[in-house]
Amino acid sequence: MTSTLTNQQIADYRTNGYLIIRDVVSSQETSELRRIVQRMARAGAYPSSLKYPTPGKYTISGNRIAEPGLSPIAEHPAVVDAVETILGQPAHLTAYVAYLRSPGDKGGGAHCDYKRWRPVGSSMRWLFAIIPLNDFNREYGPLLVSPGSHKLAQVIDPDAHILDLTRPDPEQLPDFVDPELKAGDLLLMDMHTWHKAPGGTTSDDRVGIFNKYCAVNAPPAAGYYPYNRTAYDALSDAGKRLIPLHFDQPITDTRLLIEATSGSESRYFLTSVDGNGSWELPGGAGWEEEKVGWDVGARIGSLQSLVENQLDVDIPWASYIEDVVTDGGVSRLYGYADAEVDRGSLGAGDWFTQDQLLNMLGESHAICHAISTWHREDLIRGRGKAVSQSRQQFE
């Protein structure tokens, strides 16, 4: 993979948790993008209760990448090249986001955007690609960053199949600095880097692109944001690879692959379907997490409730495996592994080894495919959580 980034720039990113590349996007491009975002904010943005120009943060995101004029910035060659150089992998666009802060908005406090319960923030290897569409200065409101703060979160066991992280201590945050971002600059920022956005004093809008990209080998633990076909088609043929998945059907079903890791060979729990000799993964008709925001696709909270009701077992985390598209909708599959989970009764079901399932169901069956995907050694997986567990995690 060739890149225009120097070794020093890459080293600076690793040290500081961010890198600024000046004048990546032309003034003509930033001005046009700014006009588009402003027009869309006036027409209606997230949250729907916020009506322009009421002071607040207006969000244009997700499938709205299909709106005329918005998609080119997501596949801008210089941006994608820099992103993929830092990630060391081809990238997936996990979040397309434009933010507009209208005059009088108070800004945002210190935080990092790694969030186990959100599709856009739960990958173990992702970064921000932030492009101001006007200068981020005292008048409009700066974006302050804490150099080195990305090192506060550490992987607990790098050799684990599903990775877990220490909780960062905000008391140890290095001082925040103003990188003096100008319109058209590119700020690459690590997923664990803390930042904040004080409010500005101007009578004009503060507008910027805040896209997120993950490495293709690090799927979000909560699952990918479900782009639709229109969003996918908005990208060029070369840029379509950035969209990890797309479908127009709703996510209607949420299932869990439970792996018992005790003993010499892993076993997997299936529930009986009406006692007729058919088997399925625990779970069922799921629902969206509450209080996640504009981001959609997080089903871990509903999955925990379904599994607790069906099997009387508490699943403290889950990690996204894949989506299975059917005529009736999309089934979102997660996995969970534990050495103790098979020591009690889980209700109407049974445990099977992978070989038993292959012989019983066949290699092409969705359950067997999920097991194979779950154990792919080239993928880096993290622990996804429900939004109700957020207070104990990284906020």
Given a cut of 50, whether residue 116 has pLDDT beyond it is yes
Q: Using one digit for the tens of pLDDT, what is the confidence trace for 291-336?
A: 778 899 999 999 999 999 999 999 999 999 999 998 889 999 999 9
The number of beta carbons lying within 10 Å of the beta carbon of residue 27 is 11
Tokens 């890791």 -> residue? 261
How large is the average pLDDT for residues 366-379?
Answer: 97
Given a cut of 80, whether residue 78 has pLDDT beyond it is yes
Assess whether 327 and 218 both reside in one domain.
Answer: no
Question: Which residues lie below 8 Å from residue 180, measured CB to CB, with a gap of 6+?
Answer: 136, 137, 142
How large is the average pLDDT for residues 167-182?
Answer: 95
Assess whether 54 and 199 both reside in one domain.
Answer: yes
pLDDT at 2: 47
Assess whether 108 and 222 both reside in one domain.
Answer: yes
Print the domain residue range for 122. Answer: 7-242
| Paired tokens of 45 | 């943005």
Phi, psi of 142 (to 5 degrees): -80, 170
How large is the average pLDDT for residues 55-73?
Answer: 97
Given a cut of 80, whether residue 40 has pLDDT beyond it is yes
pTM of the model: 0.95
Assess whether 179 and 259 both reside in one domain.
Answer: no
Q: Which of 215, 242, 269 is the last residue of a domain?
A: 242
Assess whether 234 and 131 both reside in one domain.
Answer: yes
How large is the average pLDDT for residues 154-180?
Answer: 95
What is the number of structural domains in the chain? 2
Distance between CA atoms of residues 5 and 9, nearest Å: 6
Q: Say what angle helices 77-87 and 7-16 make with each other, to 10 degrees.
A: 70
Assess whether 45 and 144 both reside in one domain.
Answer: yes
60 and 40 Cβ atoms separated by less than 8 Å: yes
Q: Using one digit for the tens of pLDDT, what is the confidence trace for 13-38?
A: 999 999 999 999 999 999 999 999 99
Assess whether 40 and 112 both reside in one domain.
Answer: yes
The number of beta carbons lying within 10 Å of the beta carbon of residue 272 is 14
How large is the average pLDDT for residues 153-172?
Answer: 94
Q: Quick one: residue 373, left, alpha or beta (phi over 0 = left, psi -120 to 50 = alpha)?
A: alpha
* Pairwise pLDDT comparison (107 vs 273), residue with the higher score: 107
Assess whether 234 and 258 both reside in one domain.
Answer: no
| Residue 152 belongs to some domain of the structure | yes
| Residue 137 belongs to some domain of the structure | yes
pLDDT at 151: 97
Assess whether 215 and 284 both reside in one domain.
Answer: no
Q: Using one digit for the tens of pLDDT, what is the confidence trace for 241-283?
A: 999 999 999 999 999 999 999 888 999 999 988 767 789 999 9
Given a cut of 50, whether residue 70 has pLDDT beyond it is yes
Find the CATH number of the domain harbouring 328. 3.90.79.10
| Residue 225 belongs to some domain of the structure | yes
Given a cut of 90, whether residue 362 has pLDDT beyond it is yes
How large is the average pLDDT for residues 77-89?
Answer: 98
Q: Using one digit for the tens of pLDDT, what is the confidence trace for 43-58?
A: 999 999 999 999 999 9
Assess whether 34 and 145 both reside in one domain.
Answer: yes
Find the CATH number of the domain harbouring 111. 2.60.120.620
Cis ω for the linkage preceding 53 (within 30 of 0) = yes
pLDDT at 347: 76
227 and 239 Cβ atoms separated by less than 8 Å: no
pLDDT at 1: 42
Given a cut of 80, whether residue 390 has pLDDT beyond it is no
